[in-house]
Chain A
Amino acid sequence: MTTDSELKTFQIQQEKFAGPLDLLLSLIEEKKLEITEISLAQVTDAFLRHVGDIKQANAGILADFIVVAAKLLLIKSRALLPTLELSGEEEAEIEDLTRRLEIYKLFKEASQNLKKIYLKQPLFSREFLFNQTPIFYPPQNLSVLDIQKAFQKIWEEFQKLGEEISVEKIKKIVKIEEKIKDILNILNQGSNLMFRNAVKKSEKIEIIITFLAILHMFKEKMIMIEQEQEFGEISLTLPK
């Protein structure tokens, strides 16, 4: 379970550094060093300082940083104490870190390749059955009599309803068109509108009408809708 604030901290961390290898790589590149054991030893202190800053973040990411920090400390210890004997496993871990950092660096470059072309010249496809006229295929054994009977039934239902519908009830309901106008008015004045504020009286029917209105507007590409998480606040903006 992650709370909102944890999620936020996580996202901030994500924005700054995509992970411990990203942090390590940027520290090394800042100093214009090659990826070697010696340069890793040199940036160990800076790395640890950054890890100290993310203590508040959720335990999941912190663990990933600490794993790398432990390896760095090992490297640094050996740099300071040349006589320090490392086990085969530890030697392998150090090598593994430099190798992984090399590979990470390459993919970091590859991600720039993607960034350069993403949405620059996209290819468009026809949506499946886009513009398709609906066709009604009646069942083979359908007769005129069946249709007549069905209509008769509906007619009788209507007769029964008759006076039950009260004019009063219908009057109260806000029209979708009005709602759309309202929302557009507000959006044209300011930057964005929260769904919660688009509903004036928090009556169920008004909420439904407002929701239908924004769905309709979205379909017509009149507005953009954003909802960061399930059941979260819905934010409306005009398309740019």
Chain B
Amino acid sequence: MPESLENNNDNANIEGSAVETNINKELQRQIEGLLFIAGEPMALSELIKLLEKTEEEVKKAIDYLKEDYLNNQRGLTLVENENSYQLTTHPDVSEIIAKYIKEILKEDLSPASLETLAIIAYKGPLNRMDIDNIRGVNSSFILRSLLIRGLVDRELDPHRGNAYTYRPSFDLIRKLGLEKLEDLPDYEKYRTL
């Protein structure tokens, strides 16, 4: 059976891909439903377990789902961070959503906060020593306030038992109106510094 597909038999190929598309479509709908009901980010591993599919299949379905949202100019989109996914509204509709939920969107970030966030967003995860080194100043005060505001997440540094690494939170990515960190302006340029 796999051989007949590889033989470039036109018929078999078309049929094969049609079946695949159907399976994928079904998977997309299931993922969409799950992410909708979860509300919060879902880990790829959790989706794989629930859907009983391979990582490749789930990832592919997510890619198609994203593309579908984009191509059909829908009001929703998917945010991706650290192999987790969250269903959110599209940046284009942010104004009307803000009007509806009346969330206070007037928080300001000080230059020091912005600078620290930029370092974490472009280079994270990284630990405080690395952040201090780039900024040339002790950042513990700023990091604490960013943590409290939910803009960064921290976890124990796997390489150094007594230190934390800091990474951008889902909340930050959503507040920046991005679907993933890689969409930050000049991401590669700063990432490789």
Q: Which residues of A contact B (CB under 8 A)?
A: 10, 14-15, 18-22, 60-61, 64, 68, 100, 103-104, 106-108, 110-115, 117-130, 221, 224, 239-240
Contacts and interface: CB of A to CB of B under 8 A. Distances in A.
Interface of B: 36, 38-40, 77, 79, 86-92, 94-95, 97-98, 101-107, 109-112, 114-115, 117-119, 121-122, 133-138, 141-142, 170, 173-179, 184-186, 189-190, 193
Contact of B175 (A15, A112, A122, A239): A122
A106 B173 CA distance: 21
B177 A123 contact: yes
A104 B88 contact: no
B186 A110 contact: yes
B91 A64 contact: no
B115 A129 contact: no
B110 to A, nearest CB: 6
B38 A128 contact: yes
B177 A125 contact: no
A119 B107 contact: yes
Given A123-B177, A124-B174, A126-B36, A114 B136 contact: no
B174 A107 contact: no
Contacts of A20: 136-137
Contacts of A22: 111, 115, 135-137
Nearest to B139: A19
A120 B177 contact: yes
A123 B89 contact: yes
Contact of A128 (B39, B142, B186): B39
Given A19-B112, A114-B114, A124 B88 contact: yes
Given A103-B193, A114-B121, A126 B39 contact: yes
Nearest to B79: A123
Given A110-B118, A124-B174, A239-B102, 18 more contacts: A22-B136, A61-B137, A100-B133, A103-B193, A104-B134, A110-B119, A110-B190, A113-B184, A114-B109, A114-B121, A117-B177, A122-B174, A123-B88, A123-B89, A123-B173, A124-B94, A124-B101, A125-B170
What is the interface of chain A mostly: helix, strand, loop, or mixed? helix
Contacts of B38: 128
B114 to A, nearest CB: 4
